[in-house]
Protein backbone atom coordinates (compact mmCIF):
# COMPACT_ATOMS: atom_id res chain seq x y z
CA UNK A 1 0.00 0.00 0.00
CA UNK A 2 1.14 3.55 -0.65
CA UNK A 3 2.12 5.74 2.26
CA UNK A 4 1.03 9.34 2.19
CA UNK A 5 3.59 10.93 4.48
CA UNK A 6 3.07 13.27 7.38
CA UNK A 7 0.20 15.77 7.50
CA UNK A 8 1.36 19.09 6.13
CA UNK A 9 3.72 17.51 3.58
CA UNK A 10 3.42 18.78 0.02
CA UNK A 11 0.46 17.24 -1.77
CA UNK A 12 -2.28 18.64 -3.99
CA UNK A 13 -1.99 22.37 -4.71
CA UNK A 14 -3.48 24.78 -7.22
CA UNK A 15 -2.35 28.23 -8.27
CA UNK A 16 -4.73 30.59 -10.08
CA UNK A 17 -6.89 27.73 -11.36
CA UNK A 18 -9.70 29.11 -13.52
CA UNK A 19 -12.50 27.55 -15.55
CA UNK A 20 -15.36 29.37 -17.28
CA UNK A 21 -18.48 28.04 -18.95
CA UNK A 22 -19.84 30.71 -21.24
CA UNK A 23 -19.71 33.91 -19.24
CA UNK A 24 -19.73 32.18 -15.86
CA UNK A 25 -16.49 31.52 -13.98
CA UNK A 26 -17.18 28.23 -12.22
CA UNK A 27 -13.65 28.25 -10.75
CA UNK A 28 -12.15 31.71 -10.41
CA UNK A 29 -8.42 32.15 -9.79
CA UNK A 30 -8.38 29.42 -7.12
CA UNK A 31 -5.10 29.04 -5.24
CA UNK A 32 -5.43 26.28 -2.66
CA UNK A 33 -3.17 23.97 -0.66
CA UNK A 34 -4.52 20.69 0.72
CA UNK A 35 -2.64 18.92 3.51
CA UNK A 36 -0.99 15.69 2.51
CA UNK A 37 -1.63 12.85 4.94
CA UNK A 38 -4.77 14.53 6.29
CA UNK A 39 -8.53 14.44 5.78
CA UNK A 40 -9.33 17.64 3.86
CA UNK A 41 -12.81 18.93 3.11
CA UNK A 42 -13.91 21.30 0.37
CA UNK A 43 -17.22 22.94 1.22
CA UNK A 44 -19.34 25.79 -0.06
CA UNK A 45 -22.87 26.71 -1.11
CA UNK A 46 -24.46 25.05 -4.13
CA UNK A 47 -22.91 26.37 -7.32
CA UNK A 48 -19.68 27.47 -5.65
CA UNK A 49 -17.49 25.49 -8.04
CA UNK A 50 -16.49 22.49 -5.93
CA UNK A 51 -17.20 19.73 -8.44
CA UNK A 52 -15.78 21.78 -11.33
CA UNK A 53 -12.62 22.19 -9.24
CA UNK A 54 -12.50 18.40 -8.77
CA UNK A 55 -12.98 17.91 -12.50
CA UNK A 56 -10.17 20.32 -13.36
CA UNK A 57 -7.77 18.64 -10.97
CA UNK A 58 -8.58 15.09 -12.13
CA UNK A 59 -8.48 15.79 -15.86
CA UNK A 60 -12.16 15.55 -16.75
CA UNK A 61 -12.22 19.26 -17.59
CA UNK A 62 -9.28 21.28 -18.88
CA UNK A 63 -8.83 24.53 -16.94
CA UNK A 64 -8.61 27.79 -18.89
CA UNK A 65 -5.59 28.91 -16.88
CA UNK A 66 -3.68 28.21 -13.72
CA UNK A 67 -1.73 25.24 -12.43
CA UNK A 68 -2.62 22.08 -10.53
CA UNK A 69 0.30 20.24 -8.98
CA UNK A 70 0.65 17.02 -7.00
CA UNK A 71 3.71 16.21 -4.90
CA UNK A 72 5.45 19.11 -6.62
CA UNK A 73 4.71 17.86 -10.15
CA UNK A 74 2.57 19.82 -12.62
CA UNK A 75 -0.49 17.72 -13.54
CA UNK A 76 -2.49 20.49 -15.22
CA UNK A 77 -4.49 19.27 -18.21
CA UNK A 78 -3.30 15.68 -18.05
CA UNK A 79 -5.87 13.04 -19.06
CA UNK A 80 -7.61 11.26 -16.18
CA UNK A 81 -5.70 7.98 -16.55
CA UNK A 82 -2.35 9.75 -16.16
CA UNK A 83 -3.55 11.63 -13.10
CA UNK A 84 -4.74 8.33 -11.64
CA UNK A 85 -1.29 6.87 -12.24
CA UNK A 86 0.22 9.81 -10.36
CA UNK A 87 -1.61 8.56 -7.26
CA UNK A 88 -4.99 10.31 -7.24
CA UNK A 89 -8.27 8.40 -7.23
CA UNK A 90 -11.78 9.81 -7.10
CA UNK A 91 -15.44 9.03 -6.73
CA UNK A 92 -18.33 10.98 -8.23
CA UNK A 93 -21.39 12.80 -6.97
CA UNK A 94 -23.53 10.31 -8.88
CA UNK A 95 -22.05 6.81 -8.64
CA UNK A 96 -20.19 5.66 -11.74
CA UNK A 97 -20.64 1.92 -11.76
CA UNK A 98 -21.60 -0.66 -14.37
CA UNK A 99 -25.18 -1.48 -13.37
CA UNK A 100 -25.55 -4.75 -15.31
CA UNK A 101 -22.24 -6.16 -14.16
CA UNK A 102 -21.82 -8.00 -10.89
CA UNK A 103 -20.19 -6.36 -7.91
CA UNK A 104 -17.04 -8.45 -8.42
CA UNK A 105 -16.90 -7.63 -12.13
CA UNK A 106 -17.17 -3.93 -11.27
CA UNK A 107 -14.18 -4.31 -9.00
CA UNK A 108 -12.04 -5.80 -11.75
CA UNK A 109 -12.54 -2.91 -14.18
CA UNK A 110 -9.94 -0.62 -12.52
CA UNK A 111 -7.31 -3.37 -12.29
CA UNK A 112 -4.28 -2.70 -14.37
CA UNK A 113 -3.24 -5.58 -16.61
CA UNK A 114 -4.86 -7.35 -19.57
CA UNK A 115 -8.51 -7.39 -20.54
CA UNK A 116 -11.54 -7.74 -18.32
CA UNK A 117 -12.54 -10.89 -20.22
CA UNK A 118 -9.15 -12.44 -19.54
CA UNK A 119 -9.55 -11.71 -15.86
CA UNK A 120 -12.95 -13.31 -15.60
CA UNK A 121 -11.86 -16.51 -17.34
CA UNK A 122 -9.22 -17.16 -14.69
CA UNK A 123 -10.97 -15.41 -11.83
CA UNK A 124 -10.31 -18.02 -9.11
CA UNK A 125 -6.54 -17.95 -9.70
CA UNK A 126 -5.89 -14.26 -10.09
CA UNK A 127 -4.38 -11.90 -7.55
CA UNK A 128 -6.73 -9.14 -8.74
CA UNK A 129 -9.75 -11.14 -7.71
CA UNK A 130 -8.28 -11.90 -4.31
CA UNK A 131 -7.59 -8.20 -3.80
CA UNK A 132 -11.09 -7.29 -5.00
CA UNK A 133 -12.63 -9.63 -2.45
CA UNK A 134 -10.44 -8.26 0.32
CA UNK A 135 -11.60 -4.73 -0.49
CA UNK A 136 -15.25 -5.74 -0.72
CA UNK A 137 -14.87 -7.24 2.74
CA UNK A 138 -13.17 -4.06 3.91
CA UNK A 139 -16.19 -1.96 2.93
CA UNK A 140 -18.65 -4.59 4.16
CA UNK A 141 -20.31 -5.81 0.97
CA UNK A 142 -18.38 -9.03 0.26
CA UNK A 143 -21.61 -11.01 0.53
CA UNK A 144 -22.92 -9.17 -2.55
CA UNK A 145 -20.10 -10.05 -4.98
CA UNK A 146 -22.41 -11.99 -7.32
CA UNK A 147 -25.23 -9.43 -7.25
CA UNK A 148 -25.71 -7.06 -10.16
CA UNK A 149 -24.64 -3.57 -9.16
CA UNK A 150 -28.04 -2.13 -10.11
CA UNK A 151 -29.65 -4.26 -7.38
CA UNK A 152 -27.60 -2.65 -4.61
CA UNK A 153 -28.97 0.14 -2.47
CA UNK A 154 -27.58 3.58 -3.24
CA UNK A 155 -25.44 3.47 -0.12
CA UNK A 156 -24.06 0.07 -1.11
CA UNK A 157 -23.27 1.47 -4.56
CA UNK A 158 -21.27 4.24 -2.86
CA UNK A 159 -19.32 1.59 -0.96
CA UNK A 160 -18.72 -0.32 -4.19
CA UNK A 161 -17.44 2.81 -5.88
CA UNK A 162 -15.05 3.49 -2.98
CA UNK A 163 -13.79 -0.09 -3.08
CA UNK A 164 -13.26 0.29 -6.83
CA UNK A 165 -11.21 3.43 -6.25
CA UNK A 166 -9.04 1.50 -3.79
CA UNK A 167 -8.30 -1.16 -6.43
CA UNK A 168 -5.90 1.29 -8.09
CA UNK A 169 -4.09 1.84 -4.75
CA UNK A 170 -4.16 5.67 -4.79
CA UNK A 171 -2.39 7.60 -2.06
CA UNK A 172 -4.86 10.50 -2.38
CA UNK A 173 -8.61 9.88 -2.64
CA UNK A 174 -11.06 12.57 -3.73
CA UNK A 175 -14.67 11.86 -2.72
CA UNK A 176 -17.53 13.91 -4.19
CA UNK A 177 -20.43 13.92 -1.72
CA UNK A 178 -19.87 10.44 -0.24
CA UNK A 179 -22.77 10.93 2.19
CA UNK A 180 -25.26 12.23 -0.37
CA UNK A 181 -28.45 10.14 -0.43
CA UNK A 182 -27.04 7.67 2.10
CA UNK A 183 -28.74 6.53 5.31
CA UNK A 184 -27.16 7.38 8.70
CA UNK A 185 -25.84 3.85 9.33
CA UNK A 186 -23.95 3.82 6.05
CA UNK A 187 -22.70 7.37 6.63
CA UNK A 188 -21.17 6.08 9.87
CA UNK A 189 -19.57 3.20 7.97
CA UNK A 190 -18.13 5.51 5.30
CA UNK A 191 -16.83 7.84 8.00
CA UNK A 192 -15.16 4.95 9.83
CA UNK A 193 -13.58 3.75 6.58
CA UNK A 194 -12.17 7.19 5.83
CA UNK A 195 -10.69 7.43 9.33
CA UNK A 196 -9.15 3.95 9.10
CA UNK A 197 -7.72 4.49 5.62
CA UNK A 198 -6.33 7.86 6.64
CA UNK A 199 -4.66 6.28 9.68
CA UNK A 200 -3.01 3.84 7.26
CA UNK A 201 -1.57 6.69 5.19
CA UNK A 202 -4.21 7.75 2.67
CA UNK A 203 -4.89 11.42 2.07
CA UNK A 204 -8.51 12.48 1.53
CA UNK A 205 -10.14 15.45 -0.14
CA UNK A 206 -13.89 15.38 0.38
CA UNK A 207 -16.62 17.55 -1.10
CA UNK A 208 -19.60 17.26 1.21
CA UNK A 209 -22.75 19.16 2.25
CA UNK A 210 -23.26 17.22 5.49
CA UNK A 211 -21.66 19.70 7.87
CA UNK A 212 -21.82 17.39 10.89
CA UNK A 213 -19.77 14.86 8.94
CA UNK A 214 -17.33 17.50 7.67
CA UNK A 215 -16.70 19.00 11.08
CA UNK A 216 -16.27 15.65 12.83
CA UNK A 217 -14.11 14.01 10.16
CA UNK A 218 -11.86 16.69 8.71
CA UNK A 219 -8.47 17.96 9.78
CA UNK A 220 -8.43 20.84 7.30
CA UNK A 221 -11.34 22.62 5.61
CA UNK A 222 -11.33 24.88 2.54
CA UNK A 223 -14.42 26.95 1.77
CA UNK A 224 -15.39 28.03 -1.75
CA UNK A 225 -17.84 30.75 -2.72
CA UNK A 226 -18.52 31.77 -6.32
CA UNK A 227 -15.59 29.74 -7.55
CA UNK A 228 -13.02 31.17 -5.15
CA UNK A 229 -11.55 29.99 -1.85
CA UNK A 230 -12.65 32.39 0.87
CA UNK A 231 -11.41 30.60 4.00
CA UNK A 232 -9.23 27.70 5.08
CA UNK A 233 -8.28 26.21 8.41
CA UNK A 234 -9.35 23.76 11.07
CA UNK A 235 -13.06 22.93 11.40
CA UNK A 236 -13.34 25.24 14.42
CA UNK A 237 -11.61 28.11 12.62
CA UNK A 238 -13.82 27.77 9.56
CA UNK A 239 -17.02 27.39 11.56
CA UNK A 240 -16.51 30.77 13.21
CA UNK A 241 -15.19 32.65 10.16
CA UNK A 242 -17.53 35.59 9.32
CA UNK A 243 -16.83 35.14 5.59
CA UNK A 244 -18.13 31.58 5.79
CA UNK A 245 -21.23 32.66 7.71
CA UNK A 246 -21.92 35.30 5.06
CA UNK A 247 -21.49 32.84 2.19
CA UNK A 248 -23.83 30.26 3.76
CA UNK A 249 -26.27 32.42 5.64
CA UNK A 250 -26.01 35.88 4.09
CA UNK A 251 -25.23 37.50 7.44
- Note the residue count of the chain: 251
pLDDT at 125 over 80: no
Please state, in angstroms and rounded to a whole number, the distance separating the CA atoms of residues 127 and 118.
13
Highest mean pLDDT among 103-112, 127-136, 236-245: 127-136
Per DSSP, 218 falls in state: -
Rg (CA), the chain: 18
> Which residues lie below 8 Å from residue 197, measured CB to CB, with a gap of 6+?
166, 173, 204
Please state, in angstroms and rounded to a whole number, the distance separating the CA atoms of residues 19 and 189.
35
CA 179 from chain center: how many Å? 12
Alpha-carbon distance values, 51 to 78, 92, 99, 220, 224 (Å): 17, 9, 23, 18, 11
pLDDT at 7 over 60: no
pLDDT band at 88 (very low <50, low <70, confident <90, very high): very high
CB 140 within 8 A of CB 55: no
Sheet of 220-225, strand order: 88-90, 172-176, 203-207, 39-43, 220-225, 228-233
pLDDT of residue 5: 44
pTM of the model: 0.86
Please state, in angstroms and rounded to a whole number, the distance separating the CA atoms of residues 58 and 239.
28
pLDDT at 98 over 60: yes
Question: Percent of the chain beyond pLDDT 90?
Answer: 55
pLDDT of residue 46: 85
Q: State whether residue 139 is helix, strand or coil.
A: helix
Question: Tens of pLDDT along 137-177?
Answer: 999 999 999 999 999 998 899 999 999 999 989 999 999 88
pLDDT at 114 over 70: no
Sheet of 73-74, strand order: 24-33, 12-21, 65-70, 73-74
Q: Of 176, 159, 207, whose CA–CA distance to 90 is shortest?
A: 176
Domains observed in the chain: 1-87+171-251 (3.40.50.300), 97-169 (no CATH)
Angle formed at CA 180 by CA 178 and CA 181, multiple of 5 degrees: 130
Amino acid sequence: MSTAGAPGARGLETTGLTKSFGGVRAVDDASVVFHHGAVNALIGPNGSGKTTFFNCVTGLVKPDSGIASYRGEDITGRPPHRIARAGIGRSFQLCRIFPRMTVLENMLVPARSRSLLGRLRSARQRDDVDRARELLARVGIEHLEDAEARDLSYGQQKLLELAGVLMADPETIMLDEPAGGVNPALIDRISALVRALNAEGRTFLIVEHNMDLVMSLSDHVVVFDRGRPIAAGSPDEVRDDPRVLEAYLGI
